[in-house]
Chain A
Amino acid sequence: MTRKLKKTGLIISLSFLILFLLSATWLLAGGDLLIKNATILTVTGGVITNGDVLVVNGLIKQIGQNLAAPAGVRIIEANGRYLMPGIIDTHTHIALSGTNEGTDAVTPEVTMAEVVNADDTSIFTALSGGVTMVHTMHGSANVIGGTNVVLKLKWGKPSEQLIVKEAYPTLKFALGENVKQSSGTLLPGRPQRYPATRMGANALIRSELLQARDYMAAWDRYEELKKSKNPPANLLPPRKDLRLETLADLLRGKLVARCHGYVATEMLEFLNLSKEFGFKIGAFEHAWEAYKITNELKAAGVGISVFIDSWAYKMEAAEGIAYNAAYCTKKGLLVSINSDSGERIRRLFNEAGKAVKYGLTRDEALKLITINAAKQLGVDRLVGSIEVGKQADLALFSQHPMSAYTRCEMTIIEGEVYFDREALIKERAAASTKKGDLS
């Protein structure tokens, strides 16, 4: 009798174990979801009304109408609300323990990927505005900052699972007022940091890159001598210099420059530097005067990552016009709208929506924070639009996301729900009843 009971107990616990293991693997593989009856803003393939999106293992498996959910798959009823690709912010500093290594004007040796802080509540804040991916960067205190990192905002997951390895590796450059430290107060007894002018900033970049060239040559010579038949007895490898290693990677084309620049002149001169040294520019950041040099930018194939209309906060932003993003888009530049802020990030869709006032259609405006951003980060084959085969990074909005009256309802990354306003409100209500709180 007792033995039999034990046996059944064993079977039950074993089946529980199997179930648990099964559910665990299901979790690991990314989410499965069926979103029904949505107004789907695919971005690359028009608008589908009353559409369904089936997500399997974190990927978009099917887009259509009246799709059936496989057994056990969670169904999200959109009721005609707007489903768009997860928003991508091409310039932020969130989810990091540190922004600037500001003690030196040149610090390419620092790596933002190593100081990701997955506990930063800014991640949640960003999710609440439909943002699923960020390019989180070194600050602009230095002429050459550090290498940046692209993250998916998987709130609650360990930092290494946030990093998007497929994205372009990028190196931060900065020009203008920030690196000149023109708004800082000069303290008695402390010399002003070099460079204090735009001339100096450019000269510094040139000298650093010349040094990096020498560094590469030194290593090449060493390798050659080492391989030779009779290597000299005193042959010593060059000192490994992390700063120059990174710059060498830029010259080797393994890194893409992302350059913070405001005024036309400094951007043109950075274009010239890239020609002089043959490195790639991913985009200009802020680029307030891009509208003045669209021809040059177009010819160089360099896009911009800008604010829509946050301007006049310093002298170099005083000619930043709200038409910049729309105008440059029309001139054929690849434009994205960024937040550069742990607060603005949650209303990036509002910022993109303003571009409609300045000349874009809603569809064009939507691209500024989705597919264009994905292209700038080198991840457009994975995200940035709602297409079969792409990762299911999605955001559900109460109204058209380019409307001022809209609100983010749900944010999904790879088929897993990371922000759900409805659930949150239920939780709040439950918590306040528990507390006996009548307000």
Chain B
Amino acid sequence: MKLTITTAQALLKNKNQLFLAAILLSLTLLTPCFSLAQQPAAQAQKDSEIIAIVGAKIVPVTGPVIESGSILIKNGRIADLGPNISIPAGAKVIEAKGLTAYPGMIDSYSWLGLEEISGVRATVDNRETGRINPQVKAIEALRYDSMHIPIARANGIVAAVVAPSGGLISGQSTLVKLDGWTNREMVIKESLAMIIELPAIRRSRGGFSGFRGQQPQVTTEKTLDELRQVFKKARMYEKRREAARKNILLPLPEFDEASHFLLPVVKGELPVIFSVHADKDILQTIKFVQEEKIKAIFYGVEQGFKVAKEIKEAGIPCLMGSLYSLPPVWEDGYDALFLNPVILNQAGVKIAFSSSSASAAKDLPYQAAKAAAFGLKPEEALKAVTIYPAEIFGVDKLLGSLEPGKTANIVLADGDLLELGTKIQKVFIDGKEVSLENRYTELLKKFEQREANK
């Protein structure tokens, strides 16, 4: 709290006072619940300041590893990097000997900012009621000061897809950087992709057959038929609206919410992230995507390995669901989820890993390493949390690797980025060093004092 206020005072000079008052007020309101989940502010820096990270091992991801080199940051961008960079006078030098510089990681599917404590409904904002909700936008509920964000950041994650879930059309996901004073300040792509959730694989194993288990199983085939109708209606709606706009004598059709918000999808402007799982369902969805001429990304894809060739031919990238689950079908083998990304990657499918979580968003690097343990090349594992997601989401000009001109999202680690024991020493987002303090470190500090006082 103290830190926040000081930083706030520092900012008071050049920022709108009213705005700050609002922030302070909201902070005070949130204090009882989340006093420790404060937003570590970007350190005040002059835009023109040059930062030089020197003596680091550099893993640019898109180029060869530089055993020892420097990175120059200017205006939030990487100005230059290499083994022999001359450091301009007046540059703020960050000595990084013994550290490795990586591009910050991108979580391809998360609930960061939409879910604080999963068991407390008041803190959960990721599932709207109902089945067809293209109108809801993750960005509009995103809690910029979620306690999970600084923790994810302290593990080297700098950007994340935040996705709504539930129902059939869950809403619009967003791509954000993990820094900002408001939800809007975090935006990289406000509306990234529509989330559509197709039926899950019915587990062959028993388990708790509660109320949910008794719901009749809807097939993917039927669900896709339903979607066809919804899309068709949206096209028809647009056609009539367009005609009415041109011809005042034609009546304007009544407002149709679903059709209205699905327009960018049916026009092929907004991609759809399809949550799709079984091999047969994947094939049907490929067909659907091709017929409907929409941009698609697959998510989940647990049985993708069985149809890797077809996915590759369709050119659809795949976001892995959490590998922290059991294979939905016993016959696939105990390691099916671990081998899935390996096989997809070998087949030439573009893959990216995800945490599929808020509280476990920090585990993104370990998801990638898990696949590496089962045969994915470590370089590919690293790409699947950096440049591949950047490419999949169309932000590879700015994110996903260390290259001159790209946004300076840089992580300095004391070891391999995906390794469990590695400690992240510094994180830069948009060229600014961000605080690595978080709820863990703050609570630890607080109770270390108890020991110290004894």
Contact surface of A with B, Cβ cutoff 8 Å: 121, 124-125, 128, 177, 183, 291-292, 294-295, 309-315, 317-319, 321-323, 327, 331, 342-344, 346-347, 350, 353-354, 356-357, 362, 365, 398-399, 402-407, 424, 428, 439
B120 touches A405 (CB 8 A): no
Bound together, the chains give a CA A347 to CA B418 distance in angstroms of 16
Give every chain B residue within 8 A of A294 (Cβ-Cβ). Answer: 451
Excluding A350-B366, A428-B333, 20 further A-B contacts by CB distance (< 8 Å) are A291-B444, A291-B447, A310-B360, A312-B148, A312-B358, A313-B118, A314-B117, A314-B120, A322-B151, A343-B326, A344-B324, A347-B370, A353-B420, A353-B421, A398-B373, A402-B420, A404-B366, A405-B372, A405-B418, A407-B374
Q: List 23 A-B contacts (CB under 8 A).
A: A121-B330, A125-B326, A128-B335, A177-B119, A292-B450, A294-B451, A312-B359, A321-B444, A323-B441, A323-B444, A347-B324, A353-B420, A354-B366, A362-B421, A365-B421, A399-B373, A403-B419, A403-B420, A404-B369, A404-B420, A405-B372, A407-B373, A439-B306
A353 to B454, CA, bound (A): 31
From A128, A312, A343, contact of B324 by CB (8 A): A343
Contact partner, B359, options A128, A311, A399, Cβ 8 Å: A311
Interface centre among A314, A315, A318 (most CB of B within 10 A): A318
- Verify B306–A405 contact, CB threshold 8 A: no
A357-B423 CB under 8 A given contacts A125-B326, A323-B444: yes
CB-based contact A404/B373 at 8 Å: yes
Question: In the bound complex, what is the Cα–Cα distance between A30 and B326 (angstroms)?
Answer: 31
Chain A residues with CB below 8 A from B333, complex form: 424, 428
Q: Point out the residues of chain A lying under 8 angstroms from B214, CB to CB.
A: none
Smallest Cβ-Cβ distance to B454: which chain A residue: A295
Q: Nearest chain A CB to B452's CB is how many angstroms away? A: 12
Chain A residues lying within 8 Å of B325, measured Cβ to Cβ, are 343
| Closest chain B CB from A355 CB (angstroms) | 8
Residue of A at shortest CB range from B368?
A404
With A312-B118, A323-B444, A356-B421: A404-B370 Cβ-Cβ less than 8 Å:
yes
Return chain B residues, CB-CB under 8 Å to A177.
119
A404:B418 contact, CB within 8 angstroms: yes
- In chain A, what residue has the closest Cβ to B439? A321
CA distance A342 to B117 in the complex (A): 22
Q: Given A121-B205, A323-B444, A405-B378, A315–B119 Cβ distance below 8 Å?
A: yes
Chain B residue contacts of A407, Cβ below 8 A = 373-374
Number of A-B residue pairs, CB cutoff 8 Å, is 109
Which 8 pairs from chain A and chain B are nearest by CB?
A356-B421, A404-B369, A314-B119, A353-B420, A312-B359, A321-B440, A407-B373, A404-B420
Is B443 a contact of A319 with CB atoms below 8 Å?
yes
User: Nearest-CB distance from B260 to chain A (Å)?
Assistant: 35
| Interface presence of B147 (CB below 8 A) | yes
Q: Which residues of A contact B324 (CB under 8 A)?
A: 343-344, 347
**CB proximity of B188 to chain A, nearest CB, Å:** 25
Instruction: Write out the residue numbers on chain B whose beta carbons fall within 8 Å of the beta carbon of A125.
Output: 326, 334
**Contact A357 B440, beta carbon cutoff 8 Å:** no
Contact A404 B334 (CB under 8 A): no
When distances are taken between beta carbons in the complex, the residues of chain B under 8 Å from A121 are 205, 330
B40 at the interface (CB under 8 A from A): no
The interface size of chain B toward A, counting residues with CB under 8 Å, comes to: 44
Q: Interface centre among B324, B365, B373, by most A CB within 10 Å?
A: B373
A125, A310, A346, A405 — which one has the most chain B CB atoms within 10 A of its CB?
Answer: A405
A406 touches B117 (CB 8 A): no
| Complex contacts, B443 vs chain A, CB 8 Å | 291, 319, 321
Q: List B contacts of A362 (CB < 8 A).
A: 421
Taking a contact as CB atoms under 8 Å apart, the answer to whether A312 and B116 are in contact is yes
User: Does B362 touch A at the CB level, under 8 Å?
Assistant: yes
Nearest CB of chain B from residue A36's CB, rounded to whole Å: 23
B419 in contact with A313 (CB, 8 Å): no
B326 close to A404 (CB less than 8 A): no
Is B422 in the interface zone, CB < 8 Å from A?
A: yes
A404 and B419 form a contact (CB under 8 A): yes
A343 CA to B323 CA, complexed, in Å: 10
Bound form: Cα–Cα A232–B365 in Å: 75
Instruction: Chain B residues near A321: list those with CB within 8 A.
Output: 439-440, 443-444
Closest A residue to B36 by beta carbon equals A319
- Near A by CB (< 8 A), chain B positions 49-95 give none
- A315 contacts which of B117, B148, B447, B451 (Cβ < 8 Å)? B117
Query: Across the interface, do A404 and B444 meet the contact criterion of CB distance under 8 Å?
Result: no
Residues of chain B contacted by A317 (CB below 8 angstroms): 117, 119
Cα–Cα, bound, A103→B120 (Å): 24
* Cβ-neighbour of A183 out of B119, B147, B378, B454 (below 8 A): B119
A70 to B6, CA, bound (A): 73
Q: Which residues of the partner chain A approach B117 to less than 8 Å between Cβ atoms?
A: 312-315, 317-318
Q: Which residues of the partner chain B approach A342 to less than 8 Å between Cβ atoms?
A: 326
CA of A231 to CA of B156, assembled, Å? 78
Instruction: Name the residue of chain A whose CB is nearest to the CB of B423.
Output: A357
Nearest residue (CB) in B for A327 is B444
Give bound CA distance, A357 to B154, whole Å: 11
Tell me the minimal C-beta distance from B183 to chain A in angstroms.
Answer: 20
In the complex, what residues of A have CB within 8 A of residue B439's CB? 319, 321
Interface centre among A128, A314, A356, A404 (most CB of B within 10 A): A404
List residues 412-432 of chain B with CB under 8 A from any CB of chain A.
418-423
Bound-state Cα–Cα, A125 to B362, Å:
25
Contacts of A183 in B (CB 8 A): 119
Of B119, B325, B419, the most chain A CB neighbours within 10 A belong to: B119
B116-A404 in contact (CB<8A):
no
A404–B365 CB distance below 8 A: yes
Residue ID in chain B nearest A99 by CB atoms = B208
CB-contacts of B111-135 with A (<8 A): 116-120
Instruction: Return A410 CB to nearest CB of chain B, in Å.
Output: 14
Known A-B contacts A315-B120, A439-B306; the reply to A357 vs B420 at CB < 8 A is yes
Q: In the assembly, what is the distance between CA of A438 and CA of B272, in Å?
A: 32
Contacts of B418 in A (CB 8 A): 404-405
Encode B208-247 as 1/0 by CB contact (under 8 A) with A: 0000000000000000000000000000000000000000
A312 to B286 Cα, complex, angstroms: 37
Shortest C-beta distance, A92 to chain B (Å), equals 14
Q: Are A357 and B119 in contact (CB under 8 A)?
A: no
Q: Which residues of B contact A356 (CB under 8 A)?
A: 420-421
B345 → A minimal CB distance (Å) = 16
CA distance A133 to B198 in the complex (A): 39
Cα-based distance from A207 to B147 in the complex (angstroms): 40
With both chains docked as a complex, state the minimum distance between the C-beta of B200 and any C-beta of chain A, in angstroms.
16
Could you tell me the distance in whole angstroms from the C-beta of A138 to the nearest C-beta in chain B? 17
Q: Note all chain B residues with C-beta closer than 8 A to A406.
A: 373
Most buried by A among B330, B420, B447: B420
Distance in angstroms from A382 CB to nearest chain B CB is 27
Complex: A322 Cα to B326 Cα, angstroms: 24
Q: What is the bound-complex CA distance between A11 and B333, given in angstroms?
A: 46
Chain A residues, CB < 8 A from B358? 312
Instruction: Decide: B451 and A402 in contact? CB cutoff 8 A.
Output: no
Q: Which residues of the other chain, A, contact B365 by a CB distance below 8 angstroms? A: 404
Task: For B370, list chain A residues within 8 Å (CB).
Answer: 347, 350, 404
Could you give, for residues 347-373 of chain B, a 1 whenever the CB lies within 8 Å of some chain A CB and a 0 otherwise?
000000000001110100110011011
CB-CB < 8 A to B306: which residues of A? Answer: 439
Q: How far is the CA of A428 from the CA of B336 in the complex (A)?
A: 12
Bound-state Cα–Cα, A98 to B428, Å? 50
CA distance A342 to B327 in the complex (A): 12
Residues of chain A within 8 A (CB-CB) of B148 are 312
In angstroms, Cα B447 to Cα A295, docked, is 11
Task: Report the separation of the CA atoms of residues A127 and B15 in the bound assembly, to the nearest whole angstrom.
Answer: 58
B362: chain A residues at CB < 8 Å are: 309
